[in-house]
Amino acid sequence: MTSEGVRARDSVAVNSVTQLYKGTTTSACGSGSSCLLNDRPPVLLDANYHGYRVRVLAIYDRSLLNLGVNDYVGVKRRAQAEQVACIVRALQTTGANVDCDANNPGAYAGNAIQNADGSIVNGGVPVVGDASVPVVVVGDFNAYEFSDGYVDVIGTILRARPVEEIAEVMRAFGQHVVPLFGSGKLRPVIDKAFSISEIQEAHCYQESNQSFGKIVLTVA
């Protein structure tokens, strides 16, 4: 079994890194018996950046290999997705204990934590939600472009925030992020450009799942 990790630049003040649900098991296995649900357990980073506290959940879902060939693959991927959704929901609920192991209800979510001073504690680690702390989910979702037939974008979920807080977030975005576009440090990744007359070819290219980045249509 391999593990997820988190690498942060020196401008990020790391409070803790917690490994989650290493021991969760499932019956969706190639062997037909019980196996680990998370071959690469999720990792939760708790940090501060420019005075803002944030939580980052890094995941690595089971690959698409043999999906549609072996029934257990889709079952395992769904169970992983449901656990991730449960974790995020709890993290966004103030005072809620992250309790997302269906086989062990009430068990602590964390199995190991590394604190800001570098000390590591193994064993049960409680993880408690806080609606005031933004949660970002990153990692390898093991999904192709959204036309792969298995993943669909159905919308973006945002929690209601006070007007004052939204204004502060927009101010921080304008101060710290927008200048990166102007300096060229932040820019979209463009995979391939097509002329407007090649729109059919552009659609075919998108459906081929070969692109990495944006597909652009140019208008003369």
Residues 13 and 91 in one domain: yes
Confidence (pLDDT) at 159 = 53
The size of the chain, in residues, is 220
pTM: 0.65
Residues 147 and 183 in one domain: no
In the chain, how many domains are there?
Answer: 3
Residues 151 and 195 in one domain: no
Residues 180 and 216 in one domain: no
Hey, what amino acid is at 134? P
For 9-23, 47-61, 107-121, 197-211, which range has the lowest pLDDT when averaged over its residues? Answer: 197-211
Q: Return d(Cα 90, Cα 146) in angstroms, integer.
A: 27
**Structure tokens of 219?**
């208008």
Task: Write the secondary structure of the chain as one string of H (helix), E (strand) and C (coil).
Answer: CCCCCCCCCCCEEEEEEEEECCCCEECCCCCCCCEECCCCCCEEEEEEECCEEEEEEEEECCCCCCCCCCHHHHHHHHHHHHHHHHHHHHHCCCCCECCCCCCCCCCCCEEEEEECCCCEEEEEECCECCCCCCEEEEEECCCCCCCCCCCCCCCCCCCCCCHHHHHHHHHHHHHHCHHHHHHCCCCCCEEEEEEHHHHHHHHHHHHCCCCCCEEEEECC
Residues 144 and 206 in one domain: no
Q: Which of 136, 156, 176 is the last residue in one of the domains? A: 156
Residues 165 and 57 in one domain: no
**Which residues partner with 16 through β-bridges?**
46, 115
**Structure tokens of 91?**
């993290």
Residues 135 and 219 in one domain: no
Residues 120 and 93 in one domain: yes
Residues 118 and 168 in one domain: no
- Do 75 and 33 touch, CB atoms closer than 8 A? no
Residues 47 and 70 in one domain: yes
Smallest Cα–Cα separation from 148: which of 77, 85, 50? 77
Confidence (pLDDT) at 143 = 60
Residues 147 and 43 in one domain: yes
Residues 69 and 106 in one domain: yes
Radius of gyration of the chain (CA): 20
Range of the domain at 170: 160-187
Give residue 154's pLDDT band: very low, low, confident or very high (50, 70, 90).
very low
Confidence (pLDDT) at 158 = 45
Q: Return d(Cα 86, Cα 98) in angstroms, integer.
A: 8
Q: Per-residue pLDDT tens for 23-80?
A: 999 999 987 788 999 988 999 999 998 888 999 999 888 887 787 788 888 899 889 9
Mean pLDDT, the chain, rounded, equals 84
